[in-house]
Structure 1
Amino acid sequence: MSLLEDFVFVLFSSPTTLLGAVALLLVLHVVSSSFTSQKTGKEPPGPRPLPLLGNLLQLDLKRPYKTLCELSKEYGSVFTVYFGTNKVVVLAGYKTVKEALVSNAEEFGDRDITPIFYDMSQGHGILFANGESWKEMRRFALTTLKDFGMGKRVAEDKILEECRHLVQMLEEHKGKPFDTARPANYATSNIISSIVYGSRFEYNDPRFKDMVRRVNENIRIAGSAPIQLYNMFPRLASWIKNRRLILENTEMTMRDVKDLVNHLQESLNPHICRGLVDCFLIRKQKEEDSRVLNSHYNEGNLMFTVTNLFGAGTDTTAATLRWGLLFMAKYPHIQDQVQEELSRVVGCRQVRVDDRKNLPYIDAVIHETQRMANIAPLAIPHKTSQDITFQGYFIKKGTTVVPLLTSVLYDESEWETPNTFNPSHFLDKEGKFIRREAFMPFSAGRRVCLGEGLAKMELFLFFTCLLQRFRFTPPPGVSEEELDLTPAVGFTLSPSTHKLCAVSRQ
């Protein structure tokens, strides 16, 4: 089905077909005039939009980042597209994205909350919030994550404990093909769970399995074409199945989180914090006792801060780890060098974070995995907090801004072989690890991923632990060349469904 057919299907399958069509005709004049209204200053160029549809027919809604990269070649590093009637300014290339998000962090620092994410969170939590509530929740979460060991030995010990459970899960397959999604998601989810709730879950816990499944499903569906259409036309497409499924999943997850929080509340000790939830409940009680007006420590912010951390802490790290294992099976000569360095430097003992400085090739492989994986190609959209003239173009306050992170990670002016998996991007001539400024998988500026330190530690320890114990290969009868590197459709980019064999090296 073509994009136009998709649009027509979504538009005219509604029970209110006739009324919807009439409504469209009535607003055409208003919408078209908005495109030709007087402008203040020179606005970024872009393809000419159609009334109502904008540039919809030019966009690949399943992989919009690809279309936007192509458009940047024609219109430059700052350009305008219309997602339906929504004006969007796209920033492409390392220098432009850095200038906007870092040098003009305040002006480009607000979050654009699309209809589906507002439906889910109502402006609460961290990921899809703005203003003082967002500032306070981000500050609280960052402080609490650090208190519970992000970047410290206590977090390292939690990850190493989880490594043992993950290795055991892979050993149960006895070298036979298995889908990497479930073990990777369970392991990474348990790290954030232990920090949020104060304890991990067993992999066979039904509630835990359902929570992980729902968060992965929501992230996948949030990137689907029907949800893109809903975000463009929320009043016309609110009935679509994918939206209902996302909201049902969210409601069920909220019930589970509320039940877990209630259990922690019942055994709460105001002098001991077992995890982030305890810290929040204690702070909430203090503000209630002090009769703080308009406190941000309310139930809505607690529920959605927890679910934001659980979702982000599960999906992106697990997807990156899965990409890493897939690349190892795809490129066995690189896996050979990884395992040679591990054997030479570490031997059979447990890898620790301190070993990273002595494992430059592995560090480079992990960084190259993050670059090529391109987990968040569009980042999460930003919004201008005030009028700004940027690179000679006027951008109005409240304009949606998309930092095209895929154009940074694949910037031809920054990377020697941008479309090839090449760990040498992060190695000097002597084989020592080097940092690259255009390495920006966690975004940058005010909205940079607050769990960056934890994610880096997880990736290093999980990856080295697994490569120390197993050799990853394609299933029998499948060649390395046949392993598909096409990402699945989703809000973030996970590998397409596949199976690998984990053959024990011991």
Structure 2
Amino acid sequence: MGSHIGGDELAVSNPTRAAQEISQTIFSLDLGGISTVILNGYDAIKECLYHQSEVFADRPSLPLFQKMTKMGGLLNCKYGSGWIEHRKLALNSFRYFGNGEKMFQRISEECMFFCDAIDMHKGKPFNPKHLVTNAVSNVTNLIIFGQRFTYDDRDFQHMIEIFSENVELAASAWAFLYNAFPWLEYLPFGKHQRLFRNATKVYDFLLQIIERFTQGRVQYSPRHYIDAYLDEMEQIANDKAASFSRENLIFSVGELIIAGTETTTNTLRWAMLYLALYPSIQEKVHREIDSVLNGRAPTMEDKQRMPYVEAVLHEVLRFCNIVPLGIFRATSQDAVVRGYTIPRGTMVITNLYSVHFDEKYWREPAVFCPERFLDNNGNFVRRDAFVPFSVGRRHCLGEQLARMEMFLFFTTLFQRFHLQFPQGSVPSLRSKLGMTLQPLPYSICAIRRQR
């Protein structure tokens, strides 16, 4: 398969235009000996991930992830019975522990803790990253551990910081070099060594915390994901082919914390930044929230009555491309796409940036415009070429929970506060590159609204 790439300077100086140039192509390249195919544009990604979902459901056997998780756990697990077992358990846990009135109440309580912590800054400038990260991670913690952690729990906060750093390091040049030349492991320097040290720290911490939260466990009466996992382990204790193990439990817990924290956290941080940048959009959000809620706390039933809030959240997800290249996949068998043969085991990168900035589906895609998700009557409209949670068998298993979190945190935040930048200070809109795109650190003022 020949490459359709051209113009490296174009990609660096104008990534939006570059994405448009290659928006309908499928091309291959060699990443240090790793055969790779990049899918661009909604049509190509849908054809592969949706219509051939099983074929494109594998994970590449990258040396980095072999070293860190032995291709076990949940997110990096190779396609097969082990992945099916782990995903089924995770989905059931999210449905059982992550839905219902009780979970809604606990998320609403977390929203209050979050806003109360913001209120302590008394309208003065602060960096929201720490508070947003802690609040969002606590929702996932409720499913995994059955309880939240306070915002001053130093051990847990340190672990979250390490997770965040590893998300950046895993997409660094050193990580790509390590995948191409695994012998770099023997060099005493390089960011990959920090990545490995961090992974060891997290593994040890998770081992301790899992032991803590399994105290008082009653078999087959699970209180949270960890209990449910141990029940599965004991049920198949004599099955040597089963994939449930203590080690895979630790890997799975770590992956669920990262996946449940990074994307939603960065979505909310971008939302805060852009609404402070565009006061007219923020004012429309305030008006809709006030008219629907009339001072009471939001419920999930209100979601259908807030089309503009929904439009803003969707535009943030589209425009900011939180996971621009998705999570790398691999073909589980030979595939044929548009006349090209993609061999089994080929790494597949889905360029979601090319989908969300494709002029075939989006008018003026480089403009931040929530109205693109509204019809002429102001009703919310779903768009096909909107895939921030990916599609196919490996699509985000926590999508429903993430959508609930984003709506409740966003609505509660803007019901109580007006956001603005410190006088004379407008932050950079450039993103910090990693496996996810997060805004560069910024300060913001949250002014208590008078209603």
Return the TM-score normalized by structure 2: 0.95
Report the counterpart of residue 280 of structure 1 in structure 2. 229
Structure 1 moving runs of 4+ over 4 Å: 57-60, 63-69
Per the TM alignment, residue 44 of structure 1 is displaced from its structure 2 partner at its CA by: 4.0
Higher relative contact order (CA 8 A, sep 6+): 2
Q: Which amino acid aligns with 2:173?
A: A
Does residue 99 (structure 1) correspond to residue 43 (structure 2)? The answer is no
Q: After superposition, what is the alpha-carbon deviation per residue over 1:418-461, rounded to whole angstroms, capped at 9, x for unaligned?
A: 11111111100000001011110001101100010110000000
Q: Which amino acid aligns with 1:45?
A: S
Contact 2:420 2:444 in 1 (8 A): yes
Contact 1:69 1:407 in 2 (8 A): no
Report the counterpart of residue 272 of structure 2 in structure 1. 325
User: 2-side partners of 1:72 and 1:236: how far apart?
Assistant: 36
Contact 2:23 2:354 in 1 (8 A): no
Call closer, same or farther: CA 1:66–1:198 in 2, change over 3 Å.
farther
Per the TM alignment, residue 87 of structure 1 is displaced from its structure 2 partner at its CA by: 2.1
Q: Which amino acid aligns with 2:55?
A: E
Per the TM alignment, residue 372 of structure 1 is displaced from its structure 2 partner at its CA by: 1.0
After superposition, residues 25-174 of structure 1 pair within 5 angstroms as: 43-46=1-4, 70=18, 73=21, 76-130=24-78, 131-150=80-99, 152-174=100-122
Call closer, same or farther: CA 1:272–1:59 in 2, change over 3 Å.
farther
Report the counterpart of residue 413 of structure 1 in structure 2. 360
Does residue 504 (structure 1) correspond to residue 448 (structure 2)? The answer is yes
Q: Which amino acid aligns with 1:197?
A: F
Give ranges in structure 1 of 5+ residues lacking alignment: 1-42, 49-56
After superposition, residues 183-194 of structure 1 pair within 5 angstroms as: 183-194=131-142
Residue 406 of structure 1 aligns to a residue whose secondary structure is: helix
Report the counterpart of residue 431 of structure 2 in structure 1. 487
Contact 1:385 1:397 in 2 (8 A): yes
Per the TM alignment, residue 238 of structure 1 is displaced from its structure 2 partner at its CA by: 5.5
Which of 253, 259, 265 pairs up with 1:312?
259
Report the counterpart of residue 195 of structure 2 in structure 1. 246
Call closer, same or farther: CA 1:67–1:431 in 2, change over 3 Å.
closer
Contact 2:23 2:41 in 1 (8 A): no
Call closer, same or farther: CA 1:168–1:451 in 2, change over 3 Å.
same
User: 2-side partners of 1:71 and 1:427: how far apart?
Assistant: 25
Which of 375, 389, 393 pairs up with 2:322?
375
Contact 2:298 2:412 in 1 (8 A): yes
Contact 1:59 1:67 in 2 (8 A): no
User: 2-side partners of 1:277 and 1:44: how far apart?
Assistant: 47
User: 2-side partners of 1:442 and 1:73: how far apart?
Assistant: 24
Q: After superposition, what is the alpha-carbon deviation per residue over 1:209-251, rounded to whole angstroms, capped at 9, x for unaligned?
A: 1111111111122222222222232224663421111111111
User: 1-side partners of 2:185 and 2:200: how far apart?
Assistant: 20
Does residue 216 (structure 1) correspond to residue 174 (structure 2)? The answer is no
Residue 266 of structure 1 aligns to a residue whose secondary structure is: coil
Call closer, same or farther: CA 1:47–1:202 in 2, change over 3 Å.
closer
Residue 236 of structure 2 aligns to a residue whose secondary structure is: helix
User: 1-side partners of 2:372 and 2:62: how far apart?
Assistant: 35
Give ranges in structure 2 of 5+ residues lacking alignment: none
Call closer, same or farther: CA 1:217–1:187 in 2, change over 3 Å.
same
Residue 336 of structure 2 aligns to a residue whose secondary structure is: strand
Per the TM alignment, residue 293 of structure 1 is displaced from its structure 2 partner at its CA by: 2.6
Q: Which amino acid aligns with 2:73?
A: G
Contact 2:23 2:40 in 1 (8 A): no
Contact 1:189 1:310 in 2 (8 A): yes
Per the TM alignment, residue 113 of structure 1 is displaced from its structure 2 partner at its CA by: 3.8
Contact 1:77 1:91 in 2 (8 A): yes
Call closer, same or farther: CA 1:401–1:59 in 2, change over 3 Å.
farther
User: 1-side partners of 2:140 and 2:75: how far apart?
Assistant: 16
Residue 123 of structure 1 aligns to a residue whose secondary structure is: coil
